[in-house]
């Protein structure tokens, strides 16, 4: 129960009342942040009521905008009966002349979950073309059928132009599935599925007791000849007791195998550490990775221990050593 209450408080923080006050990055409360740039403005989406949105001109100060959804998707309760409007872990990208926003609907600590997608021609709310259109479910997990969880989506387009959706949490690893060119459905000619990362777990198939199998939040970033799979190990959503950390592996193929710097397969528990918490910070994770203006960035949330574990936006520049990402440790 304590774990669930902590999660609810974080969701409420990310989805709090709309404010036009510009806040510095260290005061911007977010969870599961993703980012994109349009016409000189950065837009950040995160877990929250109707999907929380922030904007910034410099990635240093952020202003809260109107949520993506005024009302929760009507199909949400068919997936998770206790669903209201807390929507998790979005992913944003631009393809086919429009913006695609994938998002998760789920019951906490269960694999009653689904990933939906909405599209918009622009992210500028002042534009006459601004309108989010929901396309419903892309992929759904069903208890007693699927040993995976349909949350934490990330879209990647490979070098051949083929779209893939990575996703997943705990259970039997992080998954990848091929999508149609419209990016709204699973491709079925043929269906292609892969497990891209996995850790051994106990006999229990409950998220509340995964043994050492806790992993989630995949994000694939293409750099030179490699696809880099970033993911979060261990536990989110426990405030100052959160143990999240970011690890990475790489592959020359979009669906792996992804190997860490020591050559260990991420499907065998491999992962090279990118960043973790310390005495001042906990739960450092759920990252996304981008190139803006010629520089690479790691975007993630981190729980500030001195302020009772509130999750704040953190952005760090990535440098590369021998083909591996490096970021400065948390202060």
Q: Say if residue 221's pLDDT is above 50.
A: yes
Q: What is the pLDDT of residue 213?
A: 79
What are phi and psi for residue 219, nearest 5 degrees? -145, 120
pLDDT tens, position by position, 95-113: 999 999 999 998 876 788 9
Q: What is the pLDDT of residue 18?
A: 52
32 is catalytic: yes
Higher-confidence residue of 13 and 128: namely 128
CATH of the structural domain 2-326, one choice from 3.90.400.10, 1.10.10.60, 2.115.10.20, 3.30.450.40:
2.115.10.20
pLDDT tens, position by position, 160-198: 999 999 999 878 899 999 999 999 999 988 889 999 999
Q: What is the pLDDT of residue 154?
A: 98
Question: Residues 216, 260, 276, 304: which is the catalytic one?
Answer: 216
Question: Residues 32, 152, 234, 304: which is the catalytic one?
Answer: 32
Q: Say if residue 11's pLDDT is above 50.
A: no
Q: What is the pLDDT of residue 324?
A: 98
User: What count of other Cβ atoms lies within 10 Å of the Cβ of residue 266?
Assistant: 29
Q: What is the pLDDT of residue 330?
A: 96
Q: What is the pLDDT of residue 132?
A: 98
Torsion angle of the four alpha carbons 306, 317, 50, 66, in this order, in degrees rounded to the nearest 10: 100
Lowest mean pLDDT among 83-87, 88-92, 271-275: 83-87
The string over 29-51, giving b where at least 16 C-beta atoms fall within 10 Å of a residue's C-beta and e elsewhere, is bbbbbbbbbeeeebbbbbbbbbb
Whether the Cβ atoms of residue 120 and residue 65 lie closer than 8 Å to each other: no
User: What count of other Cβ atoms lies within 10 Å of the Cβ of residue 289?
Assistant: 24
Mean pLDDT over all residues of the chain? 90
Q: What is the pLDDT of residue 20?
A: 65
Whether the Cβ atoms of residue 246 and residue 226 lie closer than 8 Å to each other: no
Lowest mean pLDDT among 20-24, 90-94, 220-224, 301-305: 20-24
Across 32-48, average pLDDT: 97
200 is catalytic: no
The token pair that represents 28 in the structure block: 């911007």
pLDDT range class, residue 211, cuts 50, 70, 90: low
């Amino acid at each position: 129960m304590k774990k669930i209450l902590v999660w609810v408080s974080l969701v409420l923080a990310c989805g709090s009342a709309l404010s036009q006050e510009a806040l510095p990055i260290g005061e911007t409360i977010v969870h599961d942040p993703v980012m994109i740039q349009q016409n000189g403005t950065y837009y950040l989406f995160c877990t929250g009521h109707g999907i929380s949105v922030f904007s910034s001109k410099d990635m240093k100060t952020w202003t809260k905008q109107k949520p993506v959804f005024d009302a929760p998707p009507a199909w949400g309760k068919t997936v998770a009966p206790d669903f209201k409007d807390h929507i998790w872990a979005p992913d944003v990208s631009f393809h086919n002349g429009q913006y695609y926003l994938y998002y998760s609907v789920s019951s906490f600590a269960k694999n009653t979950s689904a990933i939906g997608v909405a599209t918009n021609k622009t992210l500028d709310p002042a534009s006459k073309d601004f309108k989010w259109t929901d396309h419903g479910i892309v992929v759904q997990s069903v208890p007693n059928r699927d040993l995976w969880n349909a949350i934490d989506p990330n879209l990647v387009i490979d070098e051949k132009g083929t779209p893939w959706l990575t996703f997943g949490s705990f259970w039997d690893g992080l998954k990848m599935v091929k999508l149609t060119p419209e990016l709204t459905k699973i491709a079925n000619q043929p269906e292609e599925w892969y497990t891209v990362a996995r850790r051994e777990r106990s006999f229990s198939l409950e998220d509340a007791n995964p043994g050492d199998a806790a992993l989630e939040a995949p994000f694939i970033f293409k750099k030179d000849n490699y696809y880099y799979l970033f993911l979060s190990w261990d536990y989110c959503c426990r405030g100052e007791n959160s143990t999240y950390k970011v690890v990475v592996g790489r592959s020359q193929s979009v669906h792996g195998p992804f190997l860490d710097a020591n050559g260990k397969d991420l499907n065998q528990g491999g992962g090279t550490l990118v960043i973790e918490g310390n005495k001042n910070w906990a739960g450092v994770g759920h990252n996304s990775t981008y190139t803006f203006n010629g520089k690479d960035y790691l975007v993630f949330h981190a729980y500030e221990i001195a302020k009772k574990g509130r999750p704040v936006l953190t952005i760090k520049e990535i440098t590369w050593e021998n083909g591996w990402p490096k970021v400065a440790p948390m202060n």
